Amino acid sequence: MRKRRKAQLNGTIVNTLIIAMIAMLYISTNQSVVASLVTTDAFYSPPVYRGRDKESVAFMMQVDYEAQMLETILDTLSQSDTRITVAVSGKWAENNPKLLKRMINDGHEIATMGYESDKDGDENWVLNDVAKSLDTVELISGVRPTLYYSGENRNIPVSSHVSKKLSLTQTLCTLDLLCAKGDKHDLLKRAEKIDEKASIILIKPTKAMSESLGGIIEILNTKGIKIAAVSDIL
């Protein structure tokens, strides 16, 4: 009888210990999940793909390599009194200080693509790269970008965390005009299909873009669509 009671008591103790261990594991797991969610929420800010202004579209010109047609494009924008956003890499800005200053003097908004925009890495690497680009642009021009275009070469969530930490607005594009594919007529045809206002449209300083830009501006103006910088439509 005593042996049976002792066995029952031991069994109760074991069961109690098992239940306690399961409870502690459950609490620990859920705390980890909650902590993970809080951490993610604290450092994550989703990228902006489009704006809110229903009267305009934003042009974002990606400049991270030497482009012979860039000055021609800037001339056309100046003649049509059109303001856009120019996303530059820190390395390009360092090598082209006069053009960077001209963009700012012409009234264009400057965004950063990071210092070495064709490279990617972990969060710490991207953080240092983007911070270096901000310092470079500010040192040359006196203007510190508030927008970060992460482009097609970088991991979006990582760039989002970095944007949050550096108090930047991460931007991506609604539509790519594919300026490196086709000629002037191809770009004009693509521009004719632009109907969705508040879009962010990616352009690049190619020959085809320089030859078609005036026509693209005219096409959109005829449709009643204004061209603006990204921050103007947010």
DSSP code of residue 48? B
Please indicate, yes or no, whether residues 28 and 136 belong to a single structural domain of this protein: no
Helical H segments across the chain, by residue range:
2-43, 70-79, 90-95, 97-105, 123-141, 156-165, 184-192, 207-222, 230-233
Number of domains in the chain: 2
Q: Assess if residue 104 is contained within a domain.
A: yes
The pLDDT assigned to 67 comes to 82
Residue 61's H or E segment, with its range, is strand 56-63
Q: Which two tokens stand for residue 149?
A: 């275009």
Please indicate, yes or no, whether residues 35 and 98 belong to a single structural domain of this protein: no
Distance CA 162, CA 231 (A): 19
Instruction: Tell me the residue length of the chain.
Output: 234
Tell me the pLDDT tens digit for each residue of 101-154. 999 999 999 999 999 999 999 999 999 999 999 999 999 999 999 999 998 889
Q: Does residue 3 register a pLDDT over 90?
A: no
pTM score, whole prediction: 0.81
Please indicate, yes or no, whether residues 35 and 71 belong to a single structural domain of this protein: no
Under the banding of pLDDT at 50, 70 and 90, the label for residue 171 is very high
Please indicate, yes or no, whether residues 19 and 131 belong to a single structural domain of this protein: no
Q: 51 and 200 in contact (C-beta within 8 Å)?
A: yes
Neighbours of 133 (CB within 10 A): 25
Range of the domain at 210: 56-233
